[in-house]
Amino acid sequence: MSAPTAEEGEVAILDIVEGRYFVGFWFVEGEKVDWFAAVWRDQGKPWRAMYRFRYAPEVRDPGRKSVYGIEAKTGSDEDERKIMDALNMAGEMTAQVHKTKVQYVDVRSDSVQVVMGKLLAQPWAQLVGLAPGGDA
């Protein structure tokens, strides 16, 4: 089982697949930009993170996303803490600049059903490729 992939014209920024352990997601909604981030690890692999900025059409190309990635050296608890600290700080700084708050969703699961359930509960989540009434 895996999560939806991008439709034509859309860009998937994160693949949610069974067995990929997600720690959590961050979201900051500003007036002309929003910021999204995630931390995960595939079994036996180092911690990874991605974050992206999406800009309003009057700021940059319509809906343009700038996506960045981070990979820790290991899959250790210490590296998880470091990568989480980095994203917490980046989220707080982004929220401060845009005079808003960071929204954090604690996931801590490798089940697609759990991860998708947590995302679908968020009003800011935009999931591409999910058929109405479809099973993630």
> For the segment 36-63, what is each residue's pLDDT rounded down to a tens digit?
999 999 999 999 999 988 876 666 665 5
Cα atoms found within 13 Å of the Cα of residue 124, Cβ hemisphere only: 16
Residue of 2, 3, 1 lying closest to 120 (CA atoms): 3
Surface-to-core class of residue 77, CB atoms within 10 Å of its CB (0-12 exposed, 13-18 middle, 19+ buried): exposed
Domain boundaries, the chain: 21-113
Residue of 54, 53, 51, 34 lying closest to 86 (CA atoms): 51
Residue 8: pLDDT band (50, 70, 90) is: very low
